[in-house]
Amino acid sequence: MRMVDLIEKKRDGHELSTEEIRFIVSGYTNGEIADYQMSSFLMAVFFQDMSERERADLTMAMAESGDQIDLSAIEGIKVDKHSTGGVGDTTTLVLGPLVAACGVPVAKMSGRGLGHTGGTIDKLEAIDGFHVELSTKDFIRQVNEHKLAVIGQSGNLTPADKKMYSLRDVTATVNSIPLIASSIMSKKIAAGADAIVLDVKTGEGAFMKTEEDAKKLAHAMVGIGNATGRKTMAIISDMSQPLGFAIGNALEVKEAIETLQGKGPEDLTELCLVLGSQMVVVGGKADTLEEARAMLEGVIKDGSALEAFRQLIEDQGGNPAVVDDLSLLPQAKFVTELPAKQDGYISFMEADEIGTAAMVLGAGRATKDSVIDLSVGLMLNKKVGDFVKKGEALATIYSNTQDLAECQEMLYNSIEYSNEPVEAIQLVSALITD
Ligand code: URA
Ligand code: CA
């Protein structure tokens, strides 16, 4: 087989065989195929797309390009959740304990944050003593005993994706549905998922700016999941404004605990119930989404969801007392309100910009090597649709510096007003199962 012939085949819109796709992925991963040929191939995919079968083959070839986590020693259907990324997205912290309390095993591998979006591992490390370095044996035992464990990314998972993603980044081929979908799904499959629930974000703060593109990506990923024997469902959810009120590591842990206590923000709670219902259904613990939702509401009410979080903290070396005493979380030195400069209905709160305002306080990483400050961040007091009076607090800034000019300016720039009432944003716009 020669790479040049396969580039030509894809360039002319023909379908590649399973064997040909494997040749490309393994050849590129082990260095036999050069960057210039792979670049050309990726651009051909960008313009010619891939069939559902080709997408599934590409995904599996990438998933099998490095280590694969074997979770077969865990009883039950292992369900993983993936979000395409957002600002103040605290769902993983809530969902893990929530669905574990319903009996679904959650063996979660999570990452750190980069840029204005936070990572689950960073957030959990805001809990004193919490560590994410578990051996595979302890990870599996903990999930079997308590249904829930979280580890950091380790080993050599999907090297093909790492190499292809870096190349796509510099060849204008990131924004291709078959390439994004196979990239995301290969990582979930390599991490051992039997079933996958996807939260595809749309809006200013998201990768997919329009609902139409978000739906296309969701269908592509569900198609790959179903073609590779992993039951997969997706929702489309809004990320034009941040999710919940908290943005920042310790602040989001606090928000997660409050949500598990049934006292969380309405949007975060609703999103967790929608995604959680899907996880409970694909995990085989309920037959319908309605039944699953009732189970989830039940474990919030009777305290077992919060108990699952307490158990997770205890199992992984953290101080479980934090669940009852939120003042044990890292505290910022300065708490400053951001007063509104005018009256009006809030018509827009740009998620990206607000995430970046939290990042400049130190809540996120500007570069891969930045050290983050777990105590700092923002609490929004208002969301789109709310009326605000001049002088009223739009948000509260938690910082370890009194020099807030850059953060304040970004926040003011991120908010738009209307004199007329504005409808609240619909959080979940579609459910995609095929
Ligand atoms: N996220 C991924 O993991 N891969 C992509 O290609 C795009 C976003
Ligand atoms: Ca939040």
pLDDT in tens, 56-107: 999 999 999 999 999 999 999 999 999 988 888 899 999 999 999 999 999 9
148 C-alpha vs ligand 2 centroid, how far in Å? 22
Tens digit of each residue's pLDDT (9 = 90 or more) over 257-289:
999 999 999 999 999 999 999 999 999 999 999
Asked if 16 contacts 54 with a C-beta cutoff of 8 angstroms, the reply is: yes
Residue nearest to atom 2 of ligand 1 (CA): 184
Average pLDDT of the segment spanning 389-405 = 97
Q: How far apart are CA 141 and CA 135, in angstroms?
A: 10
- Residues whose CB falls within 8 Å of the CB of residue 184, separated by 6 or more in sequence, listed in order: 82, 84, 198, 221
- CB-CB contact of 220 with 181 (8 Å): yes
Query: Measuring from atom 7 of ligand 1, which residue has the nearest CA?
Result: 180
Average pLDDT for residues 122-140, to the nearest whole number?
Answer: 94
Cβ-in-10-Å burial (0-12, 13-18, 19+) of 369 comes to exposed
The bound ligand whose nearest atom lies closest to the alpha carbon of 83 is: 1
Tell me what the mean pLDDT of segment 45-65 comes to.
98
Task: Find out whether 237 and 85 touch, Cβ atoms under 8 Å.
Answer: no
Please report the pLDDT score of residue 113 as a whole number.
Answer: 76
Q: Starting from the CA of residue 380, give the closest ligand.
A: 2
pLDDT above 90 (res 119): no
Report which protein residue has its CA nearest ligand 1's atom 6.
180
Ligand closest to CA 179: 1
Give the pLDDT of residue 324: 96
Predicted confidence at residue 88, as pLDDT, reads 83
Distance from the alpha carbon of residue 177 to the mean position of ligand 1, in angstroms? 10
* Catalytic residue ranges: 82, 161, 168, 183, 187
Is 152's pLDDT higher than 80? yes
Three-state SS at 354: helix
- Ligand 1 pocket mutation, candidates 83, 153, 161, 165, criterion most atoms within 8 A of CB: 165
From 7-11, 295-299, 422-426, the region with the lowest mean pLDDT:
422-426
What residues are in contact with ligand 1 under a 6 Å CB criterion?
A: 165, 179-180, 183-184, 207
Q: Pairing between strand 377-380 and 231-238? A: unpaired
Cα 97 to chain center, whole Å?
Answer: 16
